[in-house]
Amino acid sequence: MQRLRSILHLRRARAFRPFASGGGRIVVAILTTFALMFTLSVVLSVLATEHSRGRAKVVEVAARQRTLAERYVEDVLLVQSGRRADPQALGEILRSSAEALLNGGVAPSVHGDDDETTLPAASGSALRGQLAQEVRLATDLTSMGSAILAHRPMSAVALTGGEHIEAADPVERLRVVAALTSNTSLNATTTIASNTDSNIAQLLTMQIALGVGGLLVSLLLAWGLIAATRRRTVHFRSLVNFSTDLVAVLGVGGCRYASRSLSALVGRPERELLRAGFDECVHEDDRAKVHAACATGSPRELGFRMLNSAGEWRHLEAHVTDLRSDRHVAGVVLNARDATERVLLERDLAQQAERDKFASQLIEALEMADDENGAYDVVERAMTDISPQTPMELLLSDSSRAHLERVATSPSAGAPACPVQSPFSCAAVRRGSAVVFDSSDALNACPKLRDRATGPCSAACVPVGFMGHALGVLHATGPDGAPPSAEAVEQLTTLATQAGARIGTVRAFEKTQLQAATDGLTGLPNRRTVQTKLRSMIKAGHAFALAIADLDEFKKLNDKFGHEAGDRALRLFAQACTSVLREGDLVGRWGGEEFVLSLSGLDAARGAAVAERVRVRLSESLGGGHPPFTVSFGVTDSRQSDTLEEIVQIADAALYESKAQGRDRVTVGAPGVELVDLEPASVDGHAEDPQAAEGELDGSSNLRSERRASERSHHGALHAAVDEDNPAPQGAEIR
C-alpha cells in the first residue's frame, strides 16, 4: 500500500515546467489522428464504391441469366414449331455468362439489350458453389435443348447438376432444368446482392468504428493537451502570483493586468488597479513618464512612484517590455520591483554625503581660522550655506561665562535677536541638545521666543560647547509653524559642534599661549617673552630705551614679612609699571625681583625719566599697611649695541651703580662711560606727556639741545660724555 502510494505520489509529482513547449506535439497528434481517420474513411469508401460498381455489373449479368434460361426454352419450342429463333446462340450466351460470373471474364452482349461486360471472378465459397451449379445446369439445359432440336434421345444426355427428373417428356424435362437454372440464377443473384449488403454493412461498421476510434483518440489527446495546459497554467500562475516581482500590463484604456504582488504592494484589490486605477496610484510627476513608456515601449528601464494604501510613496523600478504587437498581450509589460528602501537609502547616503561635505568644508574653514573672529566669520558664511533666508545668530559667553553676546549673525537674513542673557537661561544649553520649537505661541515654546517684534515664529536652538562646557547657543528662527527642517537642524548641529570645538580650541590655545608667555604672579610677560620681543625690535631697527629694575633689599622683605609680602611687593611694582607705561611700551619680569622695561622710541635719558616716574609712582602707591620697599633702575637704550645681551649688560651695570650709590634711584649707563645716577627730584614730565617726549625726539635739534642743556645742568658729566661719544644728531640715529 505504501509502495502504491509512493508510486502514485511520484506520478503526481511531475516535473515543474511552466515554460515547456509541449502542447504542440499533442496538437500535431490530434491533427494526425483526424487526418488518418479521414484518409482511411475515404479509402474505404472509394474501395467500397469501386467494388459496388463491379458488383452492379455482376448483379445485372446474374439477373439476366434467369431470363436467358427461360428464353432458351421458348426459343427451342419456337424452333420446334417452325418459327425463327436462335436457341443455340442464346444457350452460348447463357453458358458463357455463367462461366464469366464464376471465373471472371467477358459476359457476351445480348442483342438489343446490352453490351459486353467484363466481370471479376466470384469470391466466397457459397457464391462460387452456386455459380458452379449454375454453370452445370446451364450446360445440362443447352445439352438437352440441342438433343431435342437434333431429335436425339434424351437418355443420351448426361446430367451434371445432380437432377433426378422422372418425367420422360423431353420438353417437360427441359422446363424442369430451365426452372432449376433460373432458380439457381436467382439464388446466386440474391447471394451477390446480400454479399454487397453485408459489404456495405461492414463498411458502415468500419466507418463507425473509425469515427468512434478517432474521436476517442482525439478526445484523449485533447484531454492530455488540456491537462498539460492546465498544469502549465497552474505552474505559471504559481510563479506569477507568488513572485515578488510586480507585474502590470498596460495597454489602450489603461491597466489590463496587475499581479497579486502589485495589488499587495499598493494595498488595493486587483480590480481597482485595472483601467484607470493604476494611473491614479502613480505619482502625478511620474505619470507622463509612464504614459510615454506605454505609448512607445521605451525606455527599457523605468522608475516611478506609486501610492500605497498607507499613504506612502513606493519607488518602483520597472523593466519595460513592448508587447503591443503581440495580439495575445496587446500592451506594454512592466516587470517592476519595489526599490523604495534602496532609493531612500541612496537619498540618505546622498544627504549624509552632503552633510559630511558640509562638515568637512566647515572643519577645514574653521581650522584655517586662527582666532575667534576668524571662526565667527566662518560661522557666518556657514549660516548662509545652510539657509540664506533663515535668520541665525551665534551667542557666546564671555570669559566670565556669565553673559551671552552675539558674535555672529546670518549675513543674508540677519539675527533673530534672542533676548537670552546668560547661557544657563537658555533651554537648549541647559538641555545640552538641539531644541526645535514649532511655534512661539505653543504652550511648551521657549518664553524668549514670545513677543518678538517680527511676530510669532518657529525656532531651532542648538547648544554650542567644548569639552562638555557650554559656550553658548546657535539660534535660528523660521516662519510660525514651519521650523527649520530636520536637515537644517542637522547642519546647524554640525555647525554648532564644529564651531564650538574650534572656538573652544582657539580659546584654550590663546590661554595656553598667554600662560606660557606670562609670569603667573604678576601677569607680566616673562623673561623669554620679553627677550623675544626685544630681539625682534632690534632686528626691525626699532629704537627703545631699556631699563632694568630690581626691588631693593627684597630678600630682607621676604625674610621679615614673609613670602606673601614679597609677592605682593612684586605685584605692586608691576602695577606701578603698567600704570605709567604707554601703549607700545613693555614691562616684563626678568626673574626674581628683577624687571625689564622697554620704552619704545626713547633714548636712555628719556627712558630714565620714565623709570623715575615709575619709582615715584611705586613710592606713592605704598601705603595701606604694606611694608615699604624701593626699587633701583639701570637704564640704557638700543643705540648702545646691536645685541640685546650687550644692552642688558650696560643696563645691568647702571643698575649695579644705582645699588652701589644707595638704591632707590635711576642710573643711566653707557658703554665705557661713568655712571651717573639721577636725583629723584630732577626727573619730571616724561610719562605725563609721552607725546612731548616723542616730539622731542622727532623735533628740531634746537629743542633737543635745549633739553640736553637742561639735563646737563643736572647731570653734566653723563650727558657730556654721551655727547662726546656720539656728537651730532643722536635723535635721528635713534629714529
Partner 1 sequence: MSVSEKDFHISAPTTLRAGEVTFTVHNEGPERHEFIVAHVGANALPLRTDGLTIDEEAIQKDEVGELEPGEPGAVRQLTLKLAPGRYVFFCNMAGHYLGGMRHEVVVQ
Residue closer to partner 1, measured from CB, 176 or 217: 176
CA angle 105, 109, 115 (to 5 degrees): 95
At 248 the three-state DSSP class reads strand
Supply the minimum distance, in Å, between the C-beta of residue 121 and partner 1: 16
Residues with Cβ within 8 Å of residue 101, at least 6 apart in sequence: 58, 61, 62, 65, 107, 119, 122, 131, 134, 188
Supply the minimum distance, in Å, between the C-beta of residue 163 and partner 1: 5
Supply the minimum distance, in Å, between the C-beta of residue 180 and partner 1: 4
Supply the minimum distance, in Å, between the C-beta of residue 186 and partner 1: 8
Q: Which residues of 395-406 are buried (b: 16+ CB within 10 A; e: fewer)?
A: bbbeeeeeebeb
At 545 the three-state DSSP class reads strand
Residue closer to partner 1, measured from CB, 23 or 129: 129
Supply the minimum distance, in Å, between the C-beta of residue 162 and partner 1: 4
Interface with partner 1 by CB under 8 A: which residues? 126, 129-130, 132-133, 161-167, 172, 175-180, 182-184, 187, 190
For helices 486-517 and 340-368, what crossing angle results, to 10°?
Answer: 20
User: What residues pair up with 476 in beta bridges, in sequence order?
Assistant: 392, 460
Contact 670, 721 (CB under 8 A): yes
- All three cell numbers of 58, joined, read 455482376
Residue closer to partner 1, measured from CB, 132 or 473: 132
CA angle 300, 306, 310 (to 5 degrees): 155
Cα(510)–Cα(514) distance, integer angstroms: 6
Contact 295, 272 (CB under 8 A): no
Beta strand 594-600 pairing with 246-251 = unpaired
Cα(504)–Cα(516) distance, integer angstroms: 18
Residue closer to partner 1, measured from CB, 169 or 510: 169
Cis peptide before 299 (omega within 30 of 0): yes
Residue closer to partner 1, measured from CB, 143 or 600: 143
Cα(668)–Cα(678) distance, integer angstroms: 8
Cα(302)–Cα(290) distance, integer angstroms: 8
Residue closer to partner 1, measured from CB, 172 or 301: 172
Contact 292, 274 (CB under 8 A): no
Residue closer to partner 1, measured from CB, 57 or 128: 128
Residue closer to partner 1, measured from CB, 184 or 259: 184
Residue closer to partner 1, measured from CB, 172 or 684: 172
Supply the minimum distance, in Å, between the C-beta of residue 4 and partner 1: 53
Supply the minimum distance, in Å, between the C-beta of residue 164 and partner 1: 3
Residue closer to partner 1, measured from CB, 69 or 375: 69
Supply the minimum distance, in Å, between the C-beta of residue 78 and partner 1: 19
Supply the minimum distance, in Å, between the C-beta of residue 131 and partner 1: 8
Contact 258, 265 (CB under 8 A): no
